Amino acid sequence: MVELGTWSLTRAALIILLLPRSLEECGHISLPTSAVRLGDSITASCTISPNCSHLGPESQILWKLGTQLQLGERQQRLADGSQESTITLPPLNRPRDLLSCCLRWGNSVQILDQAELWAGYPPAAPHNLSCLMNLTTNSLICQWEPGPHNHLPTNFTLKSFKSRDNCQTQEDSILDCVPKDGDSHCSIPRKYLKLYRHMGIWVQAENALGTGKSPQLCLVPMDVVKLEPPTLWALAPSPEVAPPQPGCLLLRWELWKPSLYIEQKCELRHHPQLGEASWALVGPLLPETLQYELCGLLPSTAYVLQMRCVRWPLPGQWSDWSPSLILTTAQQAPIVRLDTWWRQRQLDPRTVDVQLFWKPVPLDKYSGQIQGYLVRPPGQTGAVPALCNTTELSCTFHLPSEAREVVLVAYNTAGTSHPTPVVFLESRGPPLARLHTTARDPHSLWVGWEPPSPRPRGYVIAWGLGPPSPSSSNMTWKMEHNGNISGTLLQENIRPFQLYEITVTPLYQDTVGPSQHIYAYSQEMAPSHTPELHLKHIGKTWAQLEWEPQAPELGKSPLTHYTVFWTNAQDQSFFTTLNASSHGLVLHGLEPASLYHVCLMASSKAGATNSTSLTLMTLALEESELHILLGLFGLLVLLICLCGASRFCCRPSRKNPLWPSVPDPAHSSLGSWVPTIMVEEAFQLPSLRDPGMPPITKITVLEEEEKKPGPWESNDSSGTCGLPTLVQAYVLQGDPRTPSTQPQPPSSTNDQVFYGQVLGSPTGPGPGHYLRCDSTQPLLGGLTPSPKFYENLWFQNSPLGTPEPLVPNQEDDCVFGPLLDFPLLQGLQVHGVEGLGGI
């Protein structure tokens, strides 16, 4: 913000009004100069005429430089009534600026006058002034460099004069030549020139700050004449002109017609079209001959040629280089080595069919291009037809059986290569061992071998498509000249999924070894299709499938296995894997009357392929079979129920079984059904020594001679009867000779119930007696305990004999009686008691 007396303005609020007609002649800016050096200051004044109707006594004059408002340094009223304001501007740092004189008019600022300020430097002297006489335009053309930019408008003028003494004195002035704006050259027409007199020429540069002059150039117009370039042509072959030698070119040129009367000389330059070689200069070439043979070039190489000329021997300016001419040098005879290989086949006893292969190996990078090959018998000249004249790299011909050699040469228009003898050697050398191949990638194969002894001087490796369609014409081969190698990489004409037959032959000094063959793929693909599934037989829960194995395919990896997938109607999937030799499968565990989808997949190392899906349905069950299955199922359920019930009822741990555990005395031994041994009754019989004695669980013997009753002892807490003191109990269990040292736990109430003992003499004639105990444990679950002795009186008297006077204790519930009174004991026989006689 700038303070202007009692009012202020901002740059954004500054309003510049158009100059009204009444203010057109109010003000005027005076400057000492319109241009100053860049960085210098300048003083300006603005005078406002007294005739200005809007000029008040207190009107203030303002200055504006660019967009900045400034107050003048001094404002005064002159004697004529006008007002004048002066200002010294700060150093100017811009090449161009606008200075304005302004007057306050209401709330705005009115511009009264404007002046453009320039800042820059004086012009530098032009340099590098040069002139040449152009015979085409018939004028003297001069050009120069203006020097650095000085930021001010600068005028250039080409000034010249005529002189007789090397430009020391000026005789006649020549009209100034003013170039067009921005140009740094100017032409003096021929009418102002003296072609053979000296001229003084310079360039003058002028701007508002000063003048610059170039150094003066003194010259004779004809000494600076510049000719037009000649035109180059290739010299066409003719009967009078011999064809160029290899490495040479024949040229001719035509001079510019206006310069035919001027003596001149020319230069020729050339370089190979390919590559980045520099130009090679040849000259001077005198124009009298107008043709030239350029030699020392590379054969069979394209060259770019250009020519220029100059006035000679008088001074002159070189012409521009002519348009380029491209020529190719003549080729030379092929310089190659021909590697050869052959195959022979006996057609008849006197004729051999020979297939010859060769490969050219250039020995010089500038060897001539080969146009064809000739195969001749040795010693024959060109008059005799060749065995082969071909552009291919192989040839088939017939030879007599005794022929052992032919000659092979390469030729072009320049000649033939050195002859290469081809000797058909017999195979008498040692063979290779362990020939093997490895696929590096789909387009290469590595072939390896073990070098024989002695080492060969080289190897021939040939490869081509294998059976069933081998083609010798498509065979590719190469020769390895290093006999110490043990393998080579084949990269030419190798494609994936193709079977190749590879042949390796060792080469010796005067013979060859037998060829070894091997077949290989660079890459194999997955099987193209899978055998088709067929349903052979089907049942209710099984299905027999079969397929026909396919023959091996070329380029396809051998099968490694088959996988059979099947899915039921519930989308449950199953699969099984079979080896590659399988051709059938039986699916078991299928459900009757069910739908299945079956698929066969053939797999190899390169991938897998699926066959089409086979849909099958198993057979349904017949009505009779269904009834049989239901019956069997019912019987199975019934059997399970019976087994469960019997197990439940017959468990030993039950206190109340459904029926007593009474064995059949007629079909059992004493040791298999007597109740469980009581711990306190088990002891060892010292007099029993027979190891074959059957085990007796419990025997109680009552001596007859001791008829008197004694106190009874209770065997256990379960209610067993007490016996007289003369009654002795023995337990035979296991080996009678082994004493029982382990105490046994007492019998629980869940064991078998002790309900009776057999009493009597083992040797007496009378019948035995029993001792029945009234136990509190019932024999049958839910029944009442055993009856008291008074409730079974018929047990008291034996019909078969007089009862023994064994009177029970009234305190016990034991009942005595003969054995026959117990029906189940009638068939009881006691064995193994012979050893009890001494007791």
pLDDT in tens, 322-352: 999 999 888 888 889 999 988 888 888 889 9
The structure tokens listed for 517 are: 């063959």
Give yes or no for residue 186 having a pLDDT over 70: yes
Contact at 8 Å (CB) between 111 and 160?
Answer: no
Looking only at the bridges linking them, the beta strands covering 405-412 and 415-416 are: antiparallel
Q: How far apart are CA 175 and CA 834, in angstroms?
A: 179
* Alpha carbon distances (Å) from 218 to 157, 160, 224: 17, 9, 11
Mean pLDDT within 155-172: 84
pLDDT on residue 713: 41
Instruction: Verify cis geometry, omega within 30 degrees of 0, for the bond prior to 467.
Output: no
Q: pLDDT of 91-100, one tens digit each?
A: 888 888 888 8
Q: Which residue has the higher pLDDT, 481 or 671?
A: 481
Q: Which residues, including other chains, have CB under 8 Å from residue 549's CB and lie 6 or more apart? A: 531, 580, 581, 583
Burial of 481 per CB tally in 10 Å (0-12, 13-18, 19+): exposed
Give the max Cα distance, the chain: 201
The listed range with the strongest mean pLDDT (146-150, 321-325, 670-674, 803-807) is 321-325
Mean pLDDT within 664-691: 48
Tell me the one-letter amino acid at 418.
H
pLDDT on residue 552: 73
Give yes or no for residue 645 having a pLDDT over 70: yes
The sign one gets for the Cα dihedral 420, 423, 427, 430 is negative
pLDDT on residue 677: 45
Give yes or no for residue 787 having a pLDDT over 60: no
Q: How far apart are CA 386 and CA 407, in angstroms?
A: 10
Q: How far apart are CA 43 and CA 320, in angstroms?
A: 56
Q: How far apart are CA 130 and CA 158, in angstroms?
A: 12
Sheet holding 336-348, edge to edge: 336-348, 351-362, 394-400
Q: pLDDT of 682-727, one tens digit each?
A: 444 444 445 444 444 444 444 444 444 444 343 444 333 444 433 3
Mean pLDDT within 485-496: 90
The structure tokens listed for 51 are: 């005739």
pLDDT on residue 554: 63
What are residue 308's DSSP bridge partners? 267
Give yes or no for residue 770 having a pLDDT over 60: no
Contact at 8 Å (CB) between 423 and 356?
Answer: no
In this prediction, residue 510 has a pLDDT band, given cuts at 50, 70 and 90, of: confident
The listed range with the strongest mean pLDDT (48-52, 412-416, 469-473, 811-815) is 412-416
The structure tokens listed for 287 are: 């124009």
pLDDT on residue 564: 92
Which segment of 438-447, 588-597, 760-769 scores lowest on mean pLDDT?
760-769
Burial of 392 per CB tally in 10 Å (0-12, 13-18, 19+): exposed
Name the residue with tokens 């030729």.
411
Contact at 8 Å (CB) between 95 and 119?
Answer: yes
Backbone angles phi, psi at 692, to 5 degrees: -90, 0
In this prediction, residue 751 has a pLDDT band, given cuts at 50, 70 and 90, of: very low
Mean pLDDT within 816-835: 49
What are residue 280's DSSP bridge partners? 270
Looking only at the bridges linking them, the beta strands covering 198-207 and 210-213 are: antiparallel
Which segment of 23-32, 213-222, 457-466, 478-487 scores lowest on mean pLDDT?
23-32
Give percent of the chain with pLDDT exceeding 90. Answer: 13
pTM: 0.45
Q: Which residue has the higher pLDDT, 654 or 474?
A: 474
pLDDT on residue 326: 93
Give yes or no for residue 792 having a pLDDT over 50: no
pLDDT on residue 382: 66
Mean pLDDT within 782-810: 46
Give CA torsion, residues 833, 836, 837, 838, to 10 deg: 160
Q: Which residue has the higher pLDDT, 23 or 663?
A: 663
Give yes or no for residue 836 having a pLDDT over 60: no
Q: Which residues, including other chains, have CB under 8 Å from residue 323's CB and lie 6 or more apart? A: 229, 231, 232, 306
Q: What's the whole-number average pLDDT of the chain?
A: 75
Give yes or no for residue 165 having a pLDDT over 50: yes
Among 534, 528, 605, which residue's Cα sits nearest to residue 564?
Answer: 534
Q: Is 152 helix (H, G, I), strand (E, B) or coil?
A: coil
Name the residue with tokens 């001087």.
457
R_g (Cα) of the chain, nearest Å: 70
Q: Is 337 helix (H, G, I), strand (E, B) or coil?
A: strand
Q: pLDDT of 581-623, one tens digit each?
A: 888 989 988 888 889 999 999 888 778 888 878 888 888 877 6
Contacts by residues 614-619 (CB-CB < 8 Å, ≥ 24 positions apart):
614/533, 614/534, 614/535, 614/545, 616/535, 616/538, 616/543, 617/593, 618/538, 618/539, 618/540, 618/541, 618/542, 618/543, 618/590, 618/591, 618/592, 618/593, 618/594, 619/538, 619/539, 619/540, 619/592, 619/593
pLDDT on residue 271: 93
The listed range with the strongest mean pLDDT (290-299, 760-769, 804-813) is 290-299
Burial of 317 per CB tally in 10 Å (0-12, 13-18, 19+): middle
Contact at 8 Å (CB) between 758 and 830?
Answer: yes
Q: How far apart are CA 465 and CA 554, in angstroms?
A: 11
Q: pLDDT of 223-238, one tens digit each?
A: 888 888 888 988 877 7
In this prediction, residue 785 has a pLDDT band, given cuts at 50, 70 and 90, of: low
The sign one gets for the Cα dihedral 88, 93, 98, 103 is negative
The 3-state secondary structure of 459-490, one letter per residue: EEEEEEECCCCCCHHHCEEEEECCCCCCEEEE
In eight-state DSSP terms, residue 777 is S
Q: How far apart are CA 602 and CA 612, in angstroms?
A: 12
Give percent of the chain with pLDDT exceeding 70. Answer: 71
Sheet holding 302-311, edge to edge: 280-285, 264-272, 302-311, 325-328
The structure tokens listed for 398 are: 């017939």
Mean pLDDT within 360-385: 83
In this prediction, residue 747 has a pLDDT band, given cuts at 50, 70 and 90, of: very low
The sign one gets for the Cα dihedral 71, 72, 76, 78 is negative
Q: Which residue has the higher pLDDT, 135 or 435?
A: 435
Q: pLDDT of 274-294, one tens digit each?
A: 888 899 998 888 767 778 888
CB atoms within 10 A of CB 219: 20
pLDDT on residue 675: 52
Give yes or no for residue 741 having a pLDDT over 70: no
Burial of 634 per CB tally in 10 Å (0-12, 13-18, 19+): exposed
The CA angle 799-803-804, to the nearest 5 degrees, is 165
Q: pLDDT of 66-87, one tens digit each?
A: 888 888 888 888 887 788 888 8
